[in-house]
């Protein structure tokens, strides 16, 4: 009797658990879900927790990953505003914001990424067509407009993705940019020509500046030489004038001139503590002989 009662109890518990699983489901953190009633979406769930439902086929639960996913577009050719072909691929993050609309318009993750790829490709071509090749490929970092281009694509695609597919796009970026092989060499040739032209212009400017500096230096040299020559002529004239005045004095007293010249010669010879052994008969040291005679005369007195 007890065994029969235990089997009934276990069977009742299993049946109750089975029924509970049919009418109760748990939504995990990071998931979103849509509950349908006879195939038509009835309510969308975005918060984690336990929810009740009618058993299938009355109601059915469609679960989706509500976290941000990252998708990468293929490398495709597009044209810049100045008619240059380039290859651009994008990456984008996307997240289900409206589960009900997502289920109605898309239904699955692969289908959603296919729709988003087409949407991003369309806006990418439209936005890139408004920029020049130099805004995307340039040796000057300040000329690159990647950030501005990405923001414009995001601003155009984000509201449409949300309205059409129930998907939010929080970020978009340029993953890769390449040049078609057919025009790569032409682009490099043009870049080399531009660099050569720039180098030639710098060389020409440098040569012109060097010529200007040399001309200025020559002008300053000529001015300095002319001024020095004028100063020399003036000093020579002043010296000749002073010499003429001395010559007039010497003409009046030749012995004084001879005396002064001997003193000058003696000063030049005996400076720096020089030692000279010469006779007092040798000029200009004959002046010392007169000094000796003067000394003897003084002693006699």
Q: List the structure tokens of 40.
A: 């038509």
The tokens describing 152, both together, are: 């414009």
Whose CA is closest to 149, among 95, 80, 84? 80
pLDDT for position 95:
95
- Comparing CA positions, the residue from 171, 204, 155, 191 lying closest to residue 72 is 171
Residue 61's pLDDT is 84
Q: Give the model's pLDDT for residue 298.
A: 45
Which among 14, 73, 62 is positioned nearest to 39, based on CA atoms? Answer: 62
Please write down the HEC assignment for all residues of 229-285.
HHHHHHHHHHHHHHHHHHHHHHHHCHHHHHHHHHHHHHHHHHCCCCCCCCCCCCCCC
For the chain, the structural domain boundaries read 13-65, 69-179, 199-251, 253-300
Cα–Cα distance between 117 and 263 in angstroms, integer?
Answer: 111
Structure tokens at 110: 């692969």
By CB atoms closer than 10 A (0-12, 13-18, 19+), residue 300 is exposed
Residue 83 has a pLDDT of 86
Q: Per-residue DSSP letters for 123-140?
A: HHHHHHTTS-GGGTS-S-
CA–CA separation, 265 and 270 (whole Å): 9
Q: Which of 99, 92, 89, 36 is nearest to 64 (CA)?
A: 99
Q: What is the reported pLDDT for 116? A: 94
pLDDT at residue 294, rounded to an integer: 45
> Residue ranges of the chain with pLDDT lower than 70?
1-6, 8-23, 182-184, 187, 246-257, 261, 266, 268-301
> 69-179 has which CATH code?
3.30.479.30
Q: Could you tell me if 144 and 135 are in contact, meaning their C-beta atoms sit under 8 angstroms apart?
A: yes
Q: Tokens for 72, please give them.
A: 């990468």
Distance CA 71, CA 120 (A): 11
What is the Cα–Cα distance from 66 to 32, expressed in whole angstroms? 5
CA within 13 Å, CB half, 281: 0
Structure tokens at 83: 């008619």
| pLDDT of the residue at 286 | 67
CA distances from 157 to 105, 122, 168, 213, 243 (A): 17, 9, 9, 59, 101
* Strands (DSSP E) found in 59-198: 59-65, 69-72, 76-79, 85-96, 167-178
Give pLDDT tens digits for 79-103. Answer: 898 888 889 999 999 999 999 999 9
Name residue 31's beta-bridge partners.
65
């Amino acid at each position: 009797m007890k065994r029969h009662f235990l089997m009934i109890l276990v069977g009742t518990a299993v049946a109750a658990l089975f029924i509970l699983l049919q009418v109760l489901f748990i939504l995990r953190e990071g998931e979103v879900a849509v509950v349908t009633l006879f195939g038509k979406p009835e309510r969308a769930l975005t918060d984690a927790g336990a929810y009740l439902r009618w058993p299938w086929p009355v109601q059915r639960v469609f679960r989706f990953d509500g976290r941000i996913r990252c998708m990468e577009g293929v490398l495709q050719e597009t044209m810049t505003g100045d008619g240059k072909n380039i290859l651009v691929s994008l990456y984008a993050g996307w997240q289900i914001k409206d589960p009900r609309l997502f289920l109605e318009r898309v239904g699955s993750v692969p289908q959603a990424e296919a729709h988003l790829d087409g949407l991003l490709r369309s806006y990418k071509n439209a936005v890139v067509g408004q920029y020049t090749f130099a805004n995307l490929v340039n040796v000057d970092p300040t000329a690159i407009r990647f950030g501005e281009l990405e923001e414009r694509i995001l601003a155009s695609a984000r509201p449409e993705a949300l309205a059409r597919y129930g998907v939010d796009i929080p970020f978009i970026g340029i993953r890769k940019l390449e040049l078609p092989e057919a025009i790569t060499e032409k682009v490099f040739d043009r870049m080399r020509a531009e660099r050569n032209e720039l180098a030639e212009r710098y060389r020409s400017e440098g040569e012109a500046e060097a010529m200007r500096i040399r001309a200025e230096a020559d002008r300053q040299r000529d001015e300095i030489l002319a001024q020095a020559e004028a100063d020399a002529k003036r000093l020579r004239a002043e010296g000749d004038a002073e010499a003429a005045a001395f010559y007039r004095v010497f003409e009046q007293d030749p012995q004084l001139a001879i005396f002064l010249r001997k003193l000058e010669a003696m000063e030049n010879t005996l400076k720096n503590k020089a030692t000279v052994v010469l006779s007092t008969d040798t000029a200009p040291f004959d002046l010392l002989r007169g000094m000796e005679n003067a000394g003897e005369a003084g002693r006699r007195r």
